[in-house]
A and B are shown apart, each in its own frame.
Chain A
Amino acid sequence: MKITAALLGLLVLVQGCDEEENGDAETVSGSARASRSDLLQGQTIADRAATSALVAGGSGDIQTRGNDDLSMLGGNANENQQAFRERFGLTDPSSDQLANWQQYDARLTEYSNKDADWPFPTAASRNWLGSTWNGDPLAVEGTTVAVDFNRIPRGSLIYIPSLDMYAEANDTGATARWAESDSGLSDYGTNGAGRIDVYNLAGGRSSGQVQNNFESWVGNKEFGQIYIVSRGTGWKKGMQ
């Protein structure tokens, strides 16, 4: 009897949902995506990137970065950073490069795929590794940061010296609230790039643990400088 009740409930639910979603279908449309599939595919892509990075070798050896190890970002953050550098020919910046890049005040914060208000491993725009099978952009630990697109154009390449990390600005967040709450702080001052919200793959950690880990790791580096190496997505053209 209980099984019958559950099945009947499921039937009613499915019918109800169809009716709800089809009622005004001409106004809105969504794309099919499955968060678990995205996570698995993201891991696969990251693993692939890591493998090719180790084979290729070359500049930007993660071992030389000492304390700026990105493993705190979870998953394959170090390997992804390494592969990212190799794909786009990025090396530890010289003093000449740093002098030529635009420097801004910024605030380093964190987020992860365990956020209660977005428990998905997806970003707001395409990343350097491409898209998932259904076109859903992935967040990539070790290279994805969320920024205020009013301050840093979508898809820009940035460099975070305190983490020795190149990152792609392919995600965003509650930017109006960032601007409001940080209005008196340096990251939203005249030379501010806004918050740099660094993506973490939580793995077995809760969002609170990710937050604590990140804050312990970054410490007094929370407010510092970042460089915009290239504005917009032009730096990726022909290399995707």
Chain B
Amino acid sequence: MNNLLVGVIAFHFFAGCLFAQNPPLTGDPYTPRGRARSPDGRYEWRIRTVPTIRYELIHIATGNAIATVNAYYPDPDEMNIRYAQATGFYWNRDGSVVALDELNRRRAGYLYFFVLQGGRVALRRAEQLIPIPKTEEGRLVVDPGWIAPTKIRVRLAAQSGGSLPTSKFYLIDFSDSDAPQVQPAK
């Protein structure tokens, strides 16, 4: 029975890592990731395409947008819309923080964090917490997601001229949502 349990857990962890990465390592790279709706069902992300492509966080009861951010490729053509639809939304367990992770298509796109407090939303781009050197083509992505109620692991995928791509992992702790803490991770 113990073997069975270990097998299930190991397989689940391995598969979770495979599918949670950005871009996904298997299958359709445009598959939506995460959940658009908050854990308590009060909020939901919607992708708007008119006049330009943007992501809106909607308070479902009122229908009001409480946060909006433009897509990396905002022109509303077919391909950009498909790109935007592949964005991942990662809510933490109590719905106080949500990560919006655009599709990592050769380091295009951005990772944003939205902190919800008392009906208000504070937006941070991941590079504000983990700066990317200007000389590097870098991209921060969720990998694989929330590992604790306030901690999310992210990966910095970087490539600079003449060198091979590198990956560095970080933990961002939102225990103090006004001043998230960053530390290297494995």
Residues of A near any B CB (own CB < 8 A): 1-2, 4-6, 8-10, 12-13, 16-17, 20-21, 23-24, 27-35, 111, 115-120, 122, 124-125, 137, 146, 149, 154, 172-178, 180-181, 207-208, 211, 215
A6 to B15, CA, bound (A): 12
A69 to B159, CA, bound (A): 27
Does residue B124 face the partner (Cβ distance < 8 Å to A)? no
Q: Which residues of A contact B85 (CB under 8 A)?
A: 28-30
Considering only residues 7-46 of chain B, those with a C-beta below 8 Å from chain A are: 7-8, 10-12, 15, 19, 23, 25, 27-32, 34-37, 44-46
1/0 per residue B128-163: CB within 8 Å of A? 000000111111000000000000000001010010
A137 to B15, CA, bound (A): 28
* Selected contact of A32 from candidates B28, B34, B77, CB within 8 Å: B28
For B, the interface residue count at a CB cutoff of 8 angstroms equals 55
A177 to B137, CA, bound (A): 6
Distance in angstroms from A106 CB to nearest chain B CB is: 15
A12 to B13, CA, bound (A): 11
Contact B4 A175 (CB under 8 A): no
* Selected contact of A10 from candidates B11, B46, B105, B159, CB within 8 Å: B11
A119 to B25, CA, bound (A): 8
Does residue B62 face the partner (Cβ distance < 8 Å to A)? no
* Selected contact of B37 from candidates A6, A23, A111, A118, CB within 8 Å: A23
Q: Which residues of A contact B47 (CB under 8 A)?
A: 27-28
Contact A9 B8 (CB under 8 A): yes
* Selected contact of B23 from candidates A23, A118, A146, A154, CB within 8 Å: A118
Contact B108 A173 (CB under 8 A): yes
A32 to B10, CA, bound (A): 28
Given contacts A4-B4, A117-B157, is CB(A30)–CB(B30) below 8 Å? yes
Distance in angstroms from A54 CB to nearest chain B CB is: 32
Q: Which residues of B contact A118 (CB under 8 A)?
A: 23, 29, 104-106
